[in-house]
Amino acid sequence: MGEKLPLAVDLDGTVILSDMTKISAKKIILRRPWYVFLIPLFELTKGRPYWKKRVANLVSVKPEDLEYHEAFINWLKEEKESGREIILATASHIVQAIPIAEHVGLFDDVMGSEGKLNLGGKYKARALVERYGMKGFAYCGNSKADLEVWPDAGEIIVVNPSRGVLSGLHQDPDILFE
């Protein structure tokens, strides 16, 4: 058997059993309730990447307070020990993703939303193909947005799938963590 493909891993619902945007939005609304009216305005006028950047700069989330998918993390540790390259590839803002990656301690690199690009779905697929080539990476994810990434991946790993994800796949996953 040849060398294992680089492993790109999603954050929300995959490494952590929650969603950074939802966690951050709740924190902001508790501290600054008037933001509930600004969220749709930011989304419509400046776009999701702007909103994520704004949220990431206003709210700090302690990585040690998050709930992690322990069985999946243990598998990632085994993959890392075997010499496999592992990168965190998330639509969450890079400012929030880097501390989580450092806390987990398994990732060789971090790709996340920044600037004007929300690194989710087709944009994540495009970035991974640019970096590794078509079918040149394995991808671990859990959501319908990941259905746009898996066709370009050489290996499909489904972790904690959200409703309808398995039925949306056009092939069986190589590995499934529930």
101-156: pLDDT as tens digits:
999 999 999 999 987 888 999 999 999 999 999 999 999 999 999 999 999 999 99
Alpha carbons within 13 A on the beta-carbon side of 174: 14
Q: What is the pLDDT of residue 62?
A: 93
- Which residues fall within 8 angstroms of residue 70, CB to CB, at 6 or more apart? none
Residue 43 has pLDDT above 60, yes or no: yes
Q: What is the pLDDT of residue 152?
A: 98
Whole-structure pTM value: 0.87
Task: Map tokens 């998050």 to a residue.
Answer: 66
| Full set of structural domains in the chain with CATH | 7-18+64-177 (3.40.50.1000), 20-63 (no CATH)
Residue 46 has pLDDT above 70, yes or no: no
Q: What is the pLDDT of residue 163?
A: 85
| CA distance linking residue 57 with residue 34, whole number of Å | 17
